Each structure stands twice: as structure tokens, then as C-alpha cells.
A = this chain, B = another copy of it.
Amino acid sequence: MEKKGNLIVISGFSGAGKGTVVKKLVEKYGYSLSVSATTRAPREGEVDGKDYYFKSVSDFQNLIDYNGFIEWAMYVENYYGTPRKFVEEEMAKGNDVILEIEVQGAINIKSQYPDAILIFITAPDVATLKDRLAGRGTESEEVILKRLKRAKEESEDIGEYEYVVVNDDLDTCVDSVNAIIVRKKCLRENNIELIEELQKELSVY
């Protein structure tokens, strides 16, 4: 029996460093990364097809109509969505797929894929969160405040996540997320074939 890959949903406050965590997970552990589609404007240096698939509103709405997303949502006045094809193909190949999406998307995923692993990344405290948002230097005061208000809302939804991982030290955070995924492969119920084979081989003694 082919083993299907895991679906790992990573959310977290803006400023928690999700993007860096996800990038490192892909580099260090070889996870497949789903690239989201969005209607927001590219930030400086962002590359279409790598950071996001940048779409017009009409193109995005057309993809919604054609069932092209496994989830989509509106966030700070822009559309964000997860293209269906890549995720389903990778999982079928047995590859673990990471989605970096916001809370509403995570809830949508969990309802469609009950085995999905939902992980919320947070900074160790709100002061650090604010520092990181300001430090990025690409956002206005107004946008930072909007993000903090959004973070307040998101903090009320943490209960939707099975895991909460603090991004204080990047490597520790990345290794913790990896541990969550590795552990799932070690569950007895995910090793039934092996156990039955061992029992069969030992039955002769």
C-alpha cells in the first residue's frame, strides 16, 4: 500500500516569522511547499510562482468557479487561495506538503482533510511581534496596527490548532515543526503492515 503524504498547515501571526520557518523546513527537510495564489500586489523582490502566484481579481474569481482551489479566503482586502492540483498530486506521491495559510483557510482545510496537521507559529511575546513587524520596514504604521488588530482576532482562533510552536530561536522552531511530522509516522496505527509482518515472521518460534 502506498502511503499518502501528510498535509501540514502552518499559520501564525504576521511578524511571527512563518515565512522564514517554512523556507527553512523546505531547505533542511525537503518538504513540498504549496505556493498560494493571491490578488495582492507583489512586495519588492517577490517572484511570481515562487512567493505567490499573483493573479488579477477576475482570474482569481474564475479559478474559484472552476474548483481550482482547495481553500480560499479574503484577508486584509485581498484574495488568497491554495491551488488544488499541486497539493493533491504531491500527497498522492507520498510527499508531505506544507501550506502557509491564515486561520480561516486552516479551518477550511481541516474540514476537508481531517488528518491535516494544524500548527500555529507565534513569537514568544507581543513585544517581539511588534518589533518584527516594524523591523520589516516595508509596512506603514497603519498597516502594522491593522496587522496587530488582526493578530488579536487570530489569537482568539488558536483553539483551532493542535500545535503551538514558538519561533524564538529559528532552528529550534523548525526542528519542532519537523518533530511533529516525524512523530506522526511513528504512531503504531501508521505502522500496521510492519507490525503484522513481524508477528507473522515470529509466529514460527
Let me know if B182 and A161 touch, CB within 8 A: no
Interface string of A125-157 (1 = CB under 8 A from B): 111000000000000000001001101100110
Q: Other than A158-B199, A166-B191, give 15 A-B pairs with Cβ distance below 8 A.
A: A119-B186, A120-B188, A122-B194, A122-B198, A149-B205, A152-B202, A152-B203, A152-B205, A156-B199, A164-B186, A164-B187, A179-B179, A180-B183, A180-B186, A182-B183
Point out the residues of chain B lying under 8 angstroms from A51, CB to CB.
none
Contact A126 B202 (CB under 8 A): yes
CB–CB A164/B194 < 8 A:
yes
Copies in the complex: 2
| In the bound complex, CA of A99 to CA of B128 (Å) | 39
Closest chain B CB from A99 CB (angstroms): 18
Residues of B within 8 A of A165 (CB): 186
Closest to A201 in B: B126
Number of interface residues of A (CB under 8 A): 42
Q: In the bound complex, what is the Cα–Cα distance between A148 and B198 (angstroms)?
A: 12
Shortest distance from the beta carbon of A192 to any chain B beta carbon, whole Å: 9
Query: CB of A197 within 8 A of chain B?
Result: yes
Kindly state whether residue A162 has any CB partner on chain B within 8 Å. yes
Tell me which residues from 168 to 187 in chain A have a Cβ below 8 Å from any Cβ of chain B.
175-176, 178-180, 182-183, 185-187
Least Cβ–Cβ distance between A145 and chain B, in angstroms: 7
